[in-house]
Structure 1
Amino acid sequence: MILYLHGFCSSPASWKSRLMAEAMAVRGLGGRFLCPQLSPVPAQAVADLGRLIEAAEVPPTLVGSSLGGHYASHLAAKYGLAAVLINPATVNALDPAKFIGEHANFHSGERFVFTAEHAGQLAAQVARPDPARTWLLLETGDEVLDYRQAQAFWFGCRQSVFEGGDHSFTRFPGMIPQILEFAGI
């Protein structure tokens, strides 16, 4: 099972989520892919995901992009799961003041406010999962997050660092077969 965790201001309609869902469906595994809409409140997002993980028939592999990578790291550590982190948010290295304020979901347009309390919730979730079960995918051209912060924080984990690209992780379509292999699918 793949549990895909989208990024900040994103949704299950993101291109990576849709591509992963299509790849799973082509393999006849559409029912083993899940990408829920995450709450903009970090504590709520993690609580909701924890319930999904606990209810899963088989332990899922977490695939998280950007803020979803942060959540995947936290949940992989908590539940002993495998995780693929795609240009993940290295929360302990970010200035939360840059994110405090009103935002809109990229796909639905739904507006929400990210507060200092929410930033504190993220900081409390910082966790490094088992390096043997964690794969970090980075592009050096990420214009939103400094890939070197993730490289340093997840030192010791399997890392694939690609020159160029951007925050969306442009190489994602070509990486799907390897991600599914990593997940044992």
Structure 2
Amino acid sequence: MPNTHLLYLHGFRSSPRSAKAQQVAAHVARHHPLVHLWCPQLPPSPRAAMQMVAQGIAAWPHSRMAVIGSSLGGYYASWVAQHARCASVMLNPAVDPARDLARYIGEQTSWHDPEERFFFRPEFIDELRELDVRDQPPAGPELLVAAQGDEVLDWREMVARYSAARQHVLPGSDHALSGFERWLGEVIAFCDLV
């Protein structure tokens, strides 16, 4: 049976206002009006973020949901998929954010509104480690979209981490997946929405 619920998780310093989140929301509204889409603003604490998401999807029919995550949201999406046993799509996902985000401890600005500031605390690194599900086999179908031109994360790590996933490796592009609308149809089709 097609999925009735879709969760979108944005990346570090990002928001539901990201271009990809907006494109997903517009596509779902236009082509899948019966689908319940939720794209929450995630707090900086990984533990708090996943507690909020877990509470938000607690009443969802997990057998009829999918999750899409971008960058750090891709890391979170893998955690959600393990717990909900659902399909997941990772867009240029962070593979080891505990390693990569250690240099960002301190005050940060929001990508979409530099006036918005938040503090990335040292304990968040351990919270990221607690969410690591790399040692577990996929709990549901996985799709990886990885750009070879990603200037932030290494696409080779993504390909190795998601070796069991259906993979779409893009020559060029960038971390933001500029031109995402070209692959949006494939991403949504994978999510098998009603």
- What TM-score do the two structures reach when normalised by structure 1? 0.92
Matched, 1:122 2:128: yes
Matches within 5 A, 1:32-181: 32-57=36-61, 59-91=64-96, 94-108=99-113, 109-128=115-134, 130=138, 133-181=141-189
Matched, 1:9 2:17: no
Specify the code of the residue in structure 2 equivalent to 1:174: R
Q: Following the alignment from structure 1 to structure 2, what is the Cα–Cα distance between the partners of residues 31 and 78?
A: 21
Consecutive unaligned residues in structure 2, runs of 5 or more:
none
CA RMSD of aligned residues (A): 1.8
Q: Is the 8 A contact 1:87 1:137 kept in 2?
A: yes
Work out the number of aligned pairs and report it. Answer: 185
Structure 1 stretch displaced more, 89-98 or 109-118:
89-98
Q: Given the superposition, is the C-alpha separation of residues 95 and 7 from structure 1 closer, same or farther in structure 2, using an over 3 Å criterion?
A: closer
Aligned to 2:153, what secondary structure does the other structure show?
Answer: coil
Deviation at 1:28, TM superposition (A): 4.6
Alignment match, 2:190: 182
Structure whose residues are more often helix by fraction:
1
Q: Is the 8 A contact 2:72 2:97 kept in 1?
A: no
- What TM-score do the two structures reach when normalised by structure 2? 0.88
Identical-residue share of aligned pairs (%): 37
Deviation at 1:93, TM superposition (A): 7.4
Deviations 1:39-90, CA, capped at 9 Å, x for gaps:
1110000001111221224642100000000000111112211100000001
Q: Following the alignment from structure 1 to structure 2, what is the Cα–Cα distance between the partners of residues 175 and 104?
A: 29
Consecutive unaligned residues in structure 1, runs of 5 or more:
none
